[in-house]
Each structure stands twice: as C-alpha cells, then as structure tokens.
Amino acid sequence: LVDGATARGGYGQYRQYGYGYELSAVVVHQGSMRGGHYTAYVRGGASGWFHISDTRVVAATEREVLDSQAFLLFYDAAHTVAASNGDAGADEDADTCTNAVAAGR
C-alpha cells in the first residue's frame, strides 16, 4: 500500500481522508521499439498475482511482479481509516473521500 501523500507527489490532501493506493496490475513490454509483446501481471484479490500472456494465465509470485520490467502501473485507491484506527465513522469518511476524489480535490 502506497501512502496517498507519496502517490500524489508529496501533496497530503488525500491523507486526511485515509486514502492510499494499492498496486493492482503491471503491464510489461518485451521486445524493441519496432515490435514486441505485451503481458500483464494482475492482482486477483485473495488469490494473489497472475501473469497473463495472450490466452495463457499462470499464478505468479509478488517477487516476480516486483522484479518485472514495468511499462505501465495500475493502482486502486484503498480506504485505510477503518483498518488503521478502527474509526466508527469510517463509512462517513469513505463517502467524504469518494466525493473529494470525484471533485478533483
């Protein structure tokens, strides 16, 4: 999980809402500028990581993902308030954060 302040280039506006970012997919290009092949590592929830190449899907380790030559990274926003401090108002915080993200704040 990447802290929102780090993922947003040092701006802490999302930190107050308890948002962070979780790596969800990595696109890898193998080849040259003239041609090649794209594959992807995709997080499958509790099932872990998978490496996808055309019609082939195989389980992958987190180490494989981290060691890959990433071309493009995808992150999901992850609400962390409830997990970090057991805040009873986490649902309200999540709505506030969702609204802030939608408004571009």
pLDDT digits (tens, 9 = 90+) for 69-99: 999 999 988 766 544 454 444 444 445 445 5
CB 14 within 8 A of CB 1: no
Read off the pLDDT of each residue in 30-42 and give the average, rounded to a whole number: 94
Instruction: Examine the pLDDT at 104 and tell me if it is beyond 60.
Output: no
Instruction: Examine the pLDDT at 47 and tell me if it is beyond 80.
Output: yes
* Burial of 15 per CB tally in 10 Å (0-12, 13-18, 19+): middle
Q: pTM score, two decimals? A: 0.60
